[in-house]
Structure 1
Amino acid sequence: MQQIQNTLYVMTPLSYVHLDNTTLRVDVDHEKRLQVPLHHVGTLVCFGDVMVSPALMHRLAEEGKSLVLLDRFGRFKARLEGPVSGNILLRQAQHRGAGDVDVTRDLARACVAGKIRNGRTVLLRAAREAKEADDAKQLTGAANHLAASLRAAAEASTIDALRGIEGDAARSYFSAFSYIVKPAMREQFQWGGRTRRPPLDRVNALLSFLYSMLMNDCRSALETVGLDPQLGFLHVVRPGRAALALDLQEEFRAPVCDRLALTLVNRGQLSDGDFEVREGGAVLLGDKGRRKVVAAWQERKQEEITHPLLEQKVPIGLLPFVQARLMARAIRGETTGYLPYLSR
């Protein structure tokens, strides 16, 4: 079992991250704020105006560690890494699979099924815990719709049909999302449906930020096992788009990101002051809000669950790596199809 490597997030504007012998050091206004052994860091993620020394960039590349640059609101800007040492035979199998209609459809079906199944689990759990009868009714109705979507996905014969089913299921899932938010928090965290680029309310801002961090983890996991994150099966391949990372991300959105977002909201851990409203109506997490969410994200990744296939405890942060390995085995033909992670 691979040990989880830590991701270090640097968010303070004008921080300077550099090497200090065998440690990574973060200075702010020429004063040391943090110093950690470099071997404890797997990925360095910098938000906004953070400076990174050339020596540290070279060392990260030499040691196979990633440097990810995001803007101050968490949107991806760039990624620096050393030469990819993935298995060329695995990548050849991936490219052959992408050109095979049956292989592509089956892998896409697994991604869609995992997403729908895990979203339904979130809705059913919320329905059981709902205090209001109408909330439980709305959540149960959406869960039933997702059950029908699962049956339809199992019978879909084309990629386009699967994408249509996935889109319909997502609309149904998010139509009930506000009923998972506690009644006392609904005025502060109003929900008008999923909006992106830009998010138009606080819940959407929170979800988009969490999905961005999940995306980085999924891409790293795929590269670690030797798969090409650009060549996907469900998502359309486009220049500069990590389509396979988007495929892998789908099964984790609801059980990892959505549940964490709802926990932060329902427990009152986020408030008005943690968000910023930009000109045009865009709502984004502010500096203080990002710090809170990143801290909760890191804590969440350390929690252990019992993997349904491996039947052993696995830290949540390791799930993308486990599933990337299972996906690689399916692509190589070592297993009969890909089994996505299914939450309980």
Structure 2
Amino acid sequence: MRRQLNTLYVTTEGAWLRKDGENIVMEVEGETKGRLPIHMLESLVCIGRVLVSPPLLGFCAERGICVCFLSTYGKFLARLEGPVSGNVLLRREQYRRSDSAAGHAAIVQNMLAGKLHNQRAVLGRALRDHSDKLPAAAEAMVRHARLRLKRIGASLAGENDINILRGMEGEAAQAYFSVFDQLIRVEHPALRFKGRSRRPPLDAVNALLSFLYTLLTHDCRSALESVGLDPAVGFLHRDRPGRPSLALDLMEEFRPVLADRLALSLLNRRQLTEKDFRTMDNGAVFLRDEARKTLLVAYQDRKREELLHAFLDEKAPLGLFPAIQAQLLARHLRGDIDGYPPFLWK
């Protein structure tokens, strides 16, 4: 089993990162604030106005440590990587499958089956743990949404039209997010969820979800590149310039577990409150600096939790699961296994 390495998130405005031997050193206004051995890292994420020295960038590229730059609000800006890894024959097979609807319909079916199963698990966990605190009408809504997800999931296997499968995914997302607000046990109006809004997020819950989805996209992209797949050429998501379509495909199975569930926990446990968000003049809502740090710590802690992988029948840190799923996808494309086994949260 692959060893889980760390991701270093740097959020301090004006920080200067440089290389010192085999270490990353962080300086702020000429004063050393931290030092970390590079061999412990698999990626470096710089959020906001963070500067990185050219020698450190080159060293990270040589060591296969990707460096990602995000804006203060979590928007992806740039990514630096070393030489492309993997087998060119694997990528050529990926491109062939992507161009053939018949060649990747089964992959899309299984990815969506995993996503819908995990969405149902989030709703089921809420009913199991907090149904006594839900009003009768809210409980009925959650149960109905869970049933809709089950029905959509049952009809996936018989559908080979990619556009119809995309429509079914959209229907499932609508059912899932229509009751997401019922899972938030905080009464403050600033923390209510009225539906997904992106670019920009228009409420605190959307700001939290969007930031988590950005982190998850980074992890899935890194996982795909580590096994030699092209993160830009996907199956479920259409190819667009600048879009990591396959990373977004892989991410679908992990959204409910690594992002949605974590967002609910942070709000319901009051680790993040209405004071941790700020509203801009255009209505956009973003996390404050200290709230981002709280979120990053919680995200890293969540990735360290061990779960049983149903297909491998082995326990592993949750943070390794994107790499495991990427490897399983690569094995399927190479013909080593008959189908792509999705990640199912239990």
Q: State TM-score, norm by structure 1.
A: 0.97
Secondary structure, aligned partner of 1:220: helix
Give, in angstroms, the shift of residue 66 of structure 1. 0.5
Q: Does 1:254 align with 2:256?
A: yes
Aligned to 1:266: 268
Aligned to 1:97: 97
Deviations 1:246-305 (A, max 9, x none): 000000000111010000000000012211111111111111110000010011111101
8 Å Cα contact 1:306/1:314 also seen in 2: yes
Give, in angstroms, the shift of residue 152 of structure 1. 2.3
8 Å Cα contact 1:231/1:243 also seen in 2: yes
Give, in angstroms, the shift of residue 134 of structure 1. 2.7
Aligned to 1:160: 163
**Counterpart Cα distance in 2 of 1:259 and 1:309:** 22
**Counterpart Cα distance in 2 of 1:272 and 1:337:** 45
Aligned to 1:77: 77
**Counterpart Cα distance in 1 of 2:287 and 2:147:** 33
What letter matches 2:145 in structure 1? A
**Counterpart Cα distance in 2 of 1:142 and 1:272:** 27
**Which segments of structure 1 move beyond 3 Å, counting only runs of 4 or more?**
none
Aligned to 1:200: 202
Give, in angstroms, the shift of residue 186 of structure 1. 5.0
Aligned to 2:217: 215
| 2:154 paired residue among 148, 151, 167 | 151
Deviations 1:10-47 (A, max 9, x none): 00000000011221000111111110111112111001
8 Å Cα contact 2:6/2:42 also seen in 1: yes
Aligned to 2:317: 315
**Counterpart Cα distance in 2 of 1:96 and 1:190:** 44
Aligned to 2:333: 331
8 Å Cα contact 2:67/2:79 also seen in 1: yes
- Structure 1 stretch displaced more, 307-316 or 217-226: 307-316
**Counterpart Cα distance in 2 of 1:86 and 1:71:** 30
8 Å Cα contact 1:152/1:165 also seen in 2: no
Deviations 1:59-87 (A, max 9, x none): 01111111100001111100001111211
Matches within 5 A, 1:23-172: 23-129=23-129, 130=131, 131-132=133-134, 133-172=136-175
What letter matches 2:309 in structure 1? H
Give, in angstroms, the shift of residue 111 of structure 1. 1.5
- Structure 1 stretch displaced more, 122-131 or 67-76: 122-131
**Counterpart Cα distance in 1 of 2:163 and 2:188:** 36
What letter matches 2:58 in structure 1? H
- Structure 1 stretch displaced more, 333-342 or 210-219: 333-342
How many residues of Structure 1 are paired with residues of Structure 2 in the alignment?
343
Secondary structure, aligned partner of 1:35: strand
Deviations 1:92-133 (A, max 9, x none): 211121122222211111121111111011111212222223
What letter matches 2:174 in structure 1? R
**Counterpart Cα distance in 2 of 1:214 and 1:9:** 13
Alignment gaps of 5+ in structure 2: none
Give, in angstroms, the shift of residue 185 of structure 1. 3.6
**Counterpart Cα distance in 1 of 2:225 and 2:187:** 40
**Counterpart Cα distance in 1 of 2:285 and 2:157:** 37
8 Å Cα contact 1:126/1:136 also seen in 2: no
| 1:288 paired residue among 287, 290, 312 | 290
8 Å Cα contact 2:202/2:285 also seen in 1: yes
What letter matches 1:159 in structure 2? I
8 Å Cα contact 1:185/1:265 also seen in 2: no
**Counterpart Cα distance in 1 of 2:226 and 2:160:** 32
What letter matches 2:35 in structure 1? Q
What percentage of residue pairs aligned between the two structures are identical?
46
Give, in angstroms, the shift of residue 339 of structure 1. 1.1
**Counterpart Cα distance in 2 of 1:343 and 1:48:** 33
8 Å Cα contact 2:232/2:239 also seen in 1: yes
Give, in angstroms, the shift of residue 157 of structure 1. 2.5
8 Å Cα contact 1:114/1:340 also seen in 2: yes
* Structural RMSD (CA): 1.1
8 Å Cα contact 1:128/1:136 also seen in 2: no
Secondary structure, aligned partner of 1:251: coil
**Counterpart Cα distance in 2 of 1:69 and 1:185:** 35
Aligned to 1:174: 177
8 Å Cα contact 1:178/1:186 also seen in 2: no
Deviations 1:195-222 (A, max 9, x none): 1111111111000000000000000000
